[in-house]
Amino acid sequence: MTDLHFECTGARPEPFGASPTLLFGLRIEESDHQPVHAIALRCQIRIEPVRRQYEPEEVGMLGDLFGEPSRWSSTLKPMQFAHSSITVPGFTGTTNIDLPVPCTYDTEVASASYFRALSRGEIPLLFLFSGTVFTGRNGFRAEPIPWHKESSYLMPVDVWQQMIEEYFPNSGWLRLRKDCLESLRRYRSQRALSSWEQVFQELLATAGAKGGD
C-alpha cells in the first residue's frame, strides 16, 4: 500500500483571491518511491488552543469562547477552522503544493473570533488528511489515504493579520439581526450621521457617559 507522509511547511495570504484565502505549503512524500499518478486530497484543519500560552490582553478577549480563565483547563478544546480539497498532480518520491484555505472575518464564527483575539505568537493547527491516491507501477489502482495521516503546524499570528489587512484594510464588519440593523439605520437617519463609524462612536460615548454616572 502507498505510504504517504504529509508536512505543512508554511503559510501565506493568497494575494489574488476573490475572498480571504490562506495558502498552506504542503510537502508530500511517498516513502516507497512508488509512482503516484494523482491524489484527490481532502484536509480538515483544527485549532488546538491548549498548545499555546496567552497574554493578559488576549485572555480578556477570549471569554466569549472559553469562559473564565479558571475554567480553561476544561474549556480549551480543539475547534474547527476549515475544510479544503485539492487534486495533487502526479509525482514520484516527493512533491510540494499549496493548499488554498478559504477564511472568514465573521466574528460570529469561533475560529475567526479566536484569531482576532490573538496579538502575537503562533496559532497551533492540526491538519487531518483523507482522500484517495491513484498509483501503480504496472497498472492503475486507487487506495484510500488512512485517517491517521496528520501534520501539526504553528502558524504565525502575523500571517492571519496580514491576510485580514490585505482584504479588509483598516476595517472590519459585524453580522447583525435584521431588526437590530433597522434600529441602527433609524438612529443614523434621525441624527443625520454621515457614517456607520459615527453611529457606533456616538453610542459608545453615550454608554461610557452613563457608565461614569
For residue 172, tell me if it sits in a domain. no
Answer whether residue 206 shows pLDDT above 90: no
Backbone angles phi, psi at 180, to 5 degrees: -65, -40
Query: 136 and 188: one domain?
Result: no
Other Cβ atoms within 10 Å of 165 Cβ, number? 12
Who's near 39: CB < 8 A, 6+ residues apart? 4, 28, 87, 88, 131, 132, 133, 134, 145
For residue 173, tell me if it sits in a domain. no
Query: 143 and 186: one domain?
Result: no
- pLDDT tens per residue, range 181-203: 999 999 999 989 888 889 999 99
- Range of the structural domain that residue 11 is part of: 4-167
29 near 43, Cβ under 8 Å? no
Q: What is the pLDDT of residue 107?
A: 67
Q: In total, how many domains does the chain have?
A: 2
Mean residue pLDDT across the chain:
91
Confidence of residue 76 (pLDDT cuts 50, 70, 90): very high
Q: What is the pLDDT of residue 212?
A: 54
Enter the C-alpha cell of residue 158.
502575523
Q: Which helix (H) or strand (E) holds 7?
A: strand 4-13
N-term to C-term CA, the chain = 72
Query: 54 and 147: one domain?
Result: yes
For residue 196, tell me if it sits in a domain. yes
Query: 194 and 154: one domain?
Result: no
- pLDDT tens per residue, range 39-50: 999 999 999 999
> Is this model's pTM higher than 0.85 or not?
no
CA 127 to chain centre: 12
Query: 34 and 100: one domain?
Result: yes
Domain of residue 117, CATH code = 2.60.40
Query: 92 and 147: one domain?
Result: yes
Answer whether residue 108 shows pLDDT above 80: no
11 near 157, Cβ under 8 Å? no
Q: What is the pLDDT of residue 46?
A: 97
For residue 44, tell me if it sits in a domain. yes
Task: Give one DSSP letter per residue of 22-78, joined into a string.
Answer: EEEEEEEEETT---EEEEEEEEEEEE-GGGS---HHHHHHSHHHH-SGGGHHHH---
